[in-house]
Homo-oligomer: A and B are copies of this chain.
Amino acid sequence: MSTRPHVVIVGGGFGGLAAAKALRRAPVDVTVIDRRNHHLFQPLLYQVATAGLSPADIAGSIRSILRDQQNSRVLLDEVCRIDRAARMVHMRDNCPLYYDWLIVATGARHSYFGMDAWAPHAPGIKTIDDATSVRRRVLIALEKAETEIDKATRDALLTFVVVGGGPTGVEMAGAIAELARQSVSKDFRHITPHCSKVWLVQKADRLLPSFPEALSEKARLALEALGVHVRLQARVEQITPAGLAVNGAFIPARTVIWAAGVMASPAADWLGCAPDRSGRVDVDELLHPQGAHDVFVIGDTARCVDANGRECPGVAPAAKQQGRYAAQAIRDRLSGRAVEPFRYRDYGQMATIGRARAVCSIGRVKLSGHLAWLLWCVAHIWYLNGLRNRMSVTISWIWNYLTFERGARLITGDGESG
């Protein structure tokens, strides 16, 4: 390595990559460490889980993304420990790395609020393997239902429950309703659209709690038009292989999908900080954890109240802004400039419901319906990484829109599952 300052970025998600790219022309050496070889566009992962897109459509190798950035290198490895005194990052396979600045952007996984026994019966979707595993479950349930003679078993096979009414839960429920009730109905001889039941179970008193109330209601109506049963103020008490208990009543269901909670990665532990309830590291307005001015914690890993007193949400735009901010702060300090505190710019939120509806809240503008959906499509294509993925997703969506077909209906993984 050269003698230039060394910036180590842990995590190649939205935050980490934004930081690496913003350091492109800075007089530093950058090392990005990730335990996976690919950057994943998580907002579209539910479409992989519902057979609309292929994994490669929404993922790209981190190496390719940074290939032309001469001051950066990529390591496929898993961080096990950070020695803050010695400024060393320890990994599973590679030699420890010294850092001048460290950016921790390791994201979050789903959390079962302490009920880890539910995990095998209610998978979440955070990685490609999660998504193909959910896809396998959903498709196998439909296959089994086609030949099942016992009515109760058949109904349980055709009942799909999504737990959690945030954007992921809403998008997932809409997509499953389309898959189970429309896309595949012609392919089966015994399953008709009316056989399948999709439930969306939400603890709060409305869907999309971070959106304006009017849009929550629009989202509920749009989901119900697709045939989704929305249960609000519904508390999940138990999940078993046979179904789940909600507010004291048992819903027999073979497929339950978890979109209810996330837990930050173990970064707090590495850094010796006390995590908050969601496992996040508290950072100040400069995105440093307490007393560590050479460490930035960003994205879903951090709990950040910005200079305007606003808590940053766990969404991709916040992670990207924080990544770019950390890069700028490093450049400022290298050239002796003062570092401004971080201010989150909220460009709004959007969530799609099924094939042609969405809700968007952009500043004071609230949109719903087809126009919002078009905007959602354009925004998601725009933010995808690389021309190839953009083309590929655009074609899949046009195809899906015109034909109602889902192109990626593959049961893979446990090869011989029947």
Determine if B388 and A399 form an interchain contact, defined as CB atoms under 8 angstroms apart: yes
A399 to B389, CA, bound (A): 11
Q: Mark A54-66, 1 if CB is under 8 A from B, else 0.
A: 1111011101100
Q: Which residues of B contact A76 (CB under 8 A)?
A: 140, 143-144, 411, 418
Is the Cβ of B143 less than 8 Å from the Cβ of A410? no
Determine whether A147 belongs to the interface, using a CB cutoff of 8 Å to chain B. Answer: yes
B-chain residues with CB within 8 Å of residue A129 when the two chains form the complex:
412-413, 415
Q: In residues 37-95 of chain A, which contact B (Cβ within 8 Å)?
A: 37-38, 54-57, 59-61, 63-64, 67-68, 73-78, 92-94
Query: What separation, in Å, do the CA atoms of A184 and B62 have in the docked complex?
Result: 12
A-B contact list, 6 entries, CB within 8 Å: A54-B57, A54-B408, A56-B410, A76-B411, A128-B410, A388-B407
* Cβ-defined partner of A55 (8 Å) among B54, B60, B74: B54
> Chain B nearest CB: distance from A152 CB in Å?
17
Rounded to whole angstroms, the CA-CA distance of A415 and B126 in the bound complex is: 12
Q: Contacting A409 at CB < 8 Å: which of B37, B392, B409?
A: B37
Q: Does A362 contact B (CB under 8 A)?
A: no
Bound CA span A77–B144, Å: 9
Q: Is the CB of A78 within 8 A of B132?
A: no
Q: Is the CB of B418 within 8 A of A35?
A: yes
Chain B CB within 8 A of A110 CB: no
Question: How many Å lie between the Cα of A143 and that of B188 in the bound state?
Answer: 44
Verify A411–B38 contact, CB threshold 8 A: yes
Residue contact A73 to B189, C-beta cutoff 8 Å: yes
- A395: CB under 8 A from chain B? yes
A63, B411: Cβ atoms closer than 8 Å? no
Asked whether A116 is an interface residue with its Cβ less than 8 Å from the other chain, the reply is no
Size range of the interface on A?
A: 35 or more
- Residues in B with CB closer than 8 Å to A57 are 54
Residues of B within 8 A of A54 (CB): 54-57, 408
**B410 in contact with A37 (CB, 8 Å):** yes
Is the pair A35, B416 in contact by a Cβ cutoff of 8 Å? yes
> Which residues of the partner chain B approach A305 to less than 8 Å between Cβ atoms?
none
Knowing A78-B418, A93-B147, A418-B76 are in contact, say whether A411-B56 is a contact too (CB < 8 A): no
- The proximity string for A residues 385-418 relative to B, scoring 1 for CB distances below 8 Å and 0 otherwise, is 0001101100100010000010111111101101
A139 at the interface (CB under 8 A from B): yes
Which residues on the B side are within 8 Å of A416 (C-beta)? 35, 78
- Which residues of A in the span 158-195 have a Cβ within 8 Å of any Cβ on B? 184, 186-189
In the complex, A388→B57 CA distance in Å?
A: 14
Q: Are A410 and B63 in contact (CB under 8 A)?
A: no
* Alpha-carbon distance between A279 and B416 when the two chains are bound, in angstroms: 21
Beta-carbon contacts under 8 Å, A90-147 to B: 92-94, 127-129, 132, 139-140, 143-144, 147
A218 located at the interface, meaning its Cβ lies under 8 Å from any Cβ of chain B in the complex = no
A36 CB within 8 Å of chain B:
yes
Write the chain B residue with the least CB distance to A129: B415
